[in-house]
Amino acid sequence: MGILLPLVSFISLAAAKTVTFDWSIDWVTAAPDGYARPVIGINGKWPCPSIEVDNGDLVVLNLKNNLGNETTGIHCHGEFQTGTADMDGVPSVSQCPIQPGGTFTHQFTANPAGTHWFHSHSKGQYPDGIRGPMIVHDPAWEKSLGVDAQYTITVSDWYHQQAPYLVHQMLTTGKVPIPDSSLMNDAEEGPSFDILPGKKYLFRIISMSAFMAHTIEFQGHKMSVVAVDGAPVKPANAEAIEIGAGQRYDVVITAKTTTNENYGIYSRMIDSLLSNTATLKYTDKPLLPLARIPATLPGVPIDDMTLVPTDNQPLLEPVTETIELDVHYIETKAGPRMTFGNESYIAPKVPSLYTALTTGEEANNPAVYGFATNPYVVQQGDVVQVVINNLDEFPHPIHLHGHRFQVVARGVGKWDGNTKNFPKVPMKRDTATTVPGGHLVIRFQANNPGVWPIHCHMEWHMEAGMRATIIEAPTHLQQLGITIPEDHLAICRAQNIPTEGNCAGKTGSEDTWGSLIDPPAEQSLALKRKLRLARRALVQSA
């Protein structure tokens, strides 16, 4: 069944409240496509429960890792974590991983409103099931849509093998895991949504995929796109949408005035024969027999670059900091990897946020975070432009934590530096897709001090190293006086993980060989710089 949220739940303006969730993270057995396998559930159940709160509510998320054999950690994708950078939920960045038997509490103010989701950010874990919708209501905006009810749809790829095996396969052979099934609302058989003639419905659509994008369209009904990644946009008609891993679309449909038939909602996994059909249920009659969903759905997906945010924020300028991130597939002695910037990401011993908080003025020096974290330091108020040149055959959905960014350019080939065609009011989202062999240019303002990952949301690519770290206003961050909670520090102590100093848990910027995969001790920082420059020259000459 679909997730129905009645109109009465969002037309009243409720005062901010505290909403507490007590979650045990457990192994359970499930068979969403008929193949039974261990999955990671919450409180002994799967699919996982949803988080549903109002904008401004205080969210308290009490976690207990009862997996026994894996660490974990929960990230609320789409939440800014303004003033609570330590609650972003990313192991080795904002916290230590939660060890088996460990407990951990997230406490933050829900912001921004919109359609979001939560998932594990630990070792490619969320494809094993630990993920779910997070809906942050904005009653005034939802009332302005004039809808009678709202539903949530999730789409995802699904794998019969567990994630640790798939990650190992990717990192040793370079073979990207291919999904066994496509799911809607974590089931192979699509959900059914009750529809009344003449009514309007808001559908919140979330991609919880680990790899594959989906094309979605409503049979016999036009969509009006009203938000992307939680950012409201001026309504735009669409025949279909294309949604990549981590992305969200809010669409409104208007039901037919009279009908004695039901209609399908089609979800087709791109470049795959895997598909799902949900039902817009007008009557108790069964859905009419449908022809097999074609390999390409007939509707043309809307170009999200044409969407205009309702806040009408003009193009951010002038740019005061530019970050260039080239995507490469490389072969290393350890196996196939991907780079995002100069290096293939390797997690530091000390979570990068803890380094930013404990190294004083040195926190402004990227070297203290370790070059293998692909660190980029920006300062408070900077207008940051990130240029992503995708020198790879895959499209990549790029997610930035802590922000919604403006998407100012996307196209084939490396970016040529031309800004003349940048939109005056760019589309905004937190996860934007590149094109194969193309470029993506985004901008955001550094107004949220913290340590924020930017990465491909194809989980297998991120685990292969396609990830960088933006250290935002570290001195200002220190002045905010963030105090790491005791339960956060306790899980670090339990695993002998240091919580102060540079990436190696030491002082200064010269001794930063401290990642989880240590290079030979005799390699000095100076030699590493020379090796990096030499490799960059080889890439540019290739």
Which long-range CB contacts under 8 A does 335-338 form with residues at least 24 apart?
335/171, 335/172, 335/173, 335/174, 336/170, 336/171, 336/172, 336/173, 336/174, 336/464, 337/171, 337/464, 337/465, 338/392, 338/456, 338/461, 338/464, 338/465, 338/466
Nearest to 313 by CA among 234, 225, 409: 234
DSSP 28-90: EEE-TTS--EEEEEETTBSSPPPEEEETTPEEEEEEEE--SS--B-EEEET---TT-GGGS--
Which long-range CB contacts under 8 A does 523-532 form with residues at least 24 apart?
525/367, 528/371, 532/342, 532/343, 532/371
Phi, psi of 403 (to 5 degrees): -155, 155
pLDDT of residue 288: 56
Write out the two tokens for 375. Answer: 């660190």
pLDDT of residue 196: 95
Phi, psi of 178 (to 5 degrees): -105, 130
Write out the two tokens for 66. Answer: 């009862």
The beta strands (E) that lie in 159-246 are given as 181-184, 192-194, 200-207, 214-218, 223-228, 231-238, 241-243
Computed over its alpha carbons, how large is the radius of gyration of the chain?
A: 23
Q: What gap in Å lies between CA 187 and CA 156, rounded to an integer?
A: 9
Domain ranges of the chain: 3-57+110-306, 321-541
Report the 10 Å Cβ neighbour count for 292: 7
Burial (CB count <10 Å: 0-12, 13-18, 19+), residue 333: exposed
Whether the Cβ atoms of residue 460 and residue 166 lie closer than 8 Å to each other: yes
DSSP 425-465: S-EEESEEE--TTEEEEEEEE--S-EEEEEEESSHHHHHTT
Which are the contacts of 244, defined by CB distance < 8 A and separation ≥ 6?
Answer: 207, 209, 213, 395, 397, 431, 433, 457
Whether the Cβ atoms of residue 149 and residue 200 lie closer than 8 Å to each other: no
pLDDT of residue 506: 87
3-57+110-306 and 321-541 agree in CATH topology? yes
Of the chain, the end-to-end C-alpha distance in Å amounts to 53
Q: What is the pTM of this model?
A: 0.91
Q: Is the dihedral of CA 304, 308, 313, 315 positive or negative?
A: positive
Query: How far are the Cα atoms of 323, 342, 367, 385 from residue 419, in angstroms, in the given order?
Result: 16, 25, 31, 12
pLDDT of residue 526: 40
Nearest to 403 by CA among 355, 456, 357, 472: 472
**3-57+110-306 CATH pick, 2.40.50.140, 2.60.40.420, 2.60.40.1080, 3.40.640.10:** 2.60.40.420
Q: What gap in Å lies between CA 238 and CA 249, rounded to an integer?
A: 11
Phi, psi of 117 (to 5 degrees): -160, 165
Nearest to 225 by CA among 249, 196, 200, 257: 249
Local confidence pLDDT in tens for the 542 residues of the chain: 344 433 333 333 457 899 999 999 999 999 999 999 999 999 999 999 999 999 999 999 999 999 999 999 999 999 999 999 999 999 999 999 999 999 999 999 999 999 999 999 999 999 999 999 999 999 999 999 999 999 999 999 999 999 999 999 999 998 899 999 999 999 999 899 999 999 999 999 999 999 999 999 999 999 999 999 999 999 999 999 999 999 999 999 999 998 888 899 999 999 888 999 999 999 887 665 554 466 666 779 999 999 999 999 999 999 999 999 999 998 888 899 999 998 999 999 999 999 999 999 999 999 999 999 999 999 999 999 999 999 988 899 999 999 999 999 999 999 999 999 999 999 999 999 999 999 999 999 999 999 999 999 999 999 999 999 999 999 999 999 889 999 999 999 999 999 999 999 987 655 554 333 333 333 334 434 433 443 444 344 33
Q: What gap in Å lies between CA 46 and CA 29, rounded to an integer?
A: 8
Fold entry, domain 321-541: Immunoglobulin-like (2.60.40)
Name residue 157's amino acid: D
- 98 DSSP 8-state letter: B
- 294 DSSP 8-state letter: P
Which are the contacts of 489, defined by CB distance < 8 A and separation ≥ 6?
Answer: 499
Which are the contacts of 542, defined by CB distance < 8 A and separation ≥ 6?
Answer: none
Residue 493 parent element (H or E): helix 486-494
Write out the two tokens for 241. Answer: 């949408």
Name residue 353's amino acid: L
Q: Is the dihedral of CA 437, 443, 448, 450 positive or negative?
A: positive
Burial (CB count <10 Å: 0-12, 13-18, 19+), residue 443: buried
Whether the Cβ atoms of residue 231 and residue 249 lie closer than 8 Å to each other: no
